[in-house]
Amino acid sequence: MKPKRKIGRYLFGVVLLGVLVWGGLLVKNHHDFQNEMVEIVHSKEVEKLIEEELKAIDPDALTPKGKIRSYAIDDKTIEHNPMGGIMFEVTINGNKEITGGMGLRKRSEDGPIRSVGLSESTELQNLIGE
């Protein structure tokens, strides 16, 4: 085999290895970032924010008298907001049709997490309006 061909194959192998390592690091960083967002959304601080938002639309929420009796965070909907923060959906009363979209933001590293509101699905609006 000619020396030029050997060097070309060697360089190709090194470049290919570098691209694969770089791609693997990107995937790992994305996965770590997603896991961090899931941890934040399932924290006690965010749980309190969700309950405050639900009680704002139904004062008896999460009680036997309320129309909203339970909620669950849909982990599949947790995503980073391009403008900053985290967006996710909350399923109400175990019904996948009755949902509320929530957003979270944090102004600084030391600051508290804040809710940017709850957007109600049509089904949630109908439930509250009953």
**CATH number, domain with residue 86:** 3.10.450.130
Question: Are 61 and 117 in the same domain?
Answer: yes
Confidence of residue 73 (pLDDT cuts 50, 70, 90): very high
Amino acid at 129: G
Question: Are 122 and 63 in the same domain?
Answer: yes
Confidence of residue 16 (pLDDT cuts 50, 70, 90): very high
Position 84 scores a pLDDT of: 85
Question: Are 65 and 123 in the same domain?
Answer: yes
Position 80 scores a pLDDT of: 93
6 or 23: which carries more pLDDT confidence?
23
Q: 100-122 pLDDT, tens per residue?
A: 999 999 888 888 899 998 999 99
Q: How is the beta sheet containing 71-80 ordered, strand by strand? A: 71-80, 86-92, 95-106, 113-120
Question: Are 53 and 89 in the same domain?
Answer: yes
Indicate if the pLDDT at residue 82 is higher than 90: no
Question: Are 66 and 105 in the same domain?
Answer: yes
Q: Which domain holds residue 10?
A: 1-41
Give pTM, 2 decimals: 0.79
Question: Are 30 and 79 in the same domain?
Answer: no
Question: Are 19 and 67 in the same domain?
Answer: no
Question: Are 58 and 74 in the same domain?
Answer: yes
Question: Are 59 and 114 in the same domain?
Answer: yes
What distance in Å separates the CA atoms of residue 43 and residue 59, rounded to the nearest whole number? Answer: 23
Question: Are 54 and 6 in the same domain?
Answer: no
